[in-house]
Each structure stands twice: as C-alpha cells, then as structure tokens.
Amino acid sequence: MTETRRITYEGSGALARALVQMLADEGVTVDVQRGGQRGTEYRDARGIAEAVLATLLATGAIESIRAGVRKFRERFPGAKVEIEDDDD
C-alpha cells in the first residue's frame, strides 16, 4: 500500500541530500520543501549556509519509508530526522 508521510529534517544540506538518496534507494518518491536556514546558533558563516530545515514528502510503502530513515539514522546517528505521525 502506498502512503505519503511528512519527514522533518534539520541539519546539513549535504546530509539532507543523503536522506533523499537513501529513501530513493528504497523505492520512495521524495518531494523536498526547504524551510530555509536554521536559527542563528552557528557563528561560522559557512555553517549557516549549510544548515537547513527541510520537510520531505515521502511517497511509497510505509516500510520502505521507515527503512530509508532507519538506514540514514544508522549512518548519521546525531541527525535530527523524524517521520511525522509514525508510532514506529
């Protein structure tokens, strides 16, 4: 069964691309909506340019969505990523 879930991500733009790729590898279609730059807690200008808030609309089997997020979390354990409305 195909579902669409909203995934929130906060962190490096490069890692956001890695998350999208890991979801795609699981057969999930992803639409990314960037929320702009993160708050001003970074003092280094390069850090501000790299930090993003993003909402991903992931469409596919829920197990595939979970698998992509799980693999991302395993590879990047400190990353802030959450599947909204998911109890798993």
Look up residue 15 and give its two tokens: 């890692």
Distance CA 81, CA 9 (A): 4
CATH number, residue 22: 3.30.70.120
Distance CA 74, CA 78 (A): 9
Q: Is residue 88 part of a domain?
A: no
Q: Structure pTM?
A: 0.80
Domain total in the chain: 1
Residue predicted with more confidence, 38 or 86: 86
| Mean pLDDT of the region 66-87 | 92
Look up residue 77 and give its two tokens: 């354990």
Domain limits for position 9: 2-83
Model pLDDT for residues 24-66, shown as the tens digit of each residue:
999 999 998 876 554 444 444 444 446 788 999 999 999 999 9
Q: Is residue 29 part of a domain?
A: yes
**Kind and range of the H or E element at 84?**
none
pLDDT of the residue at 27: 97
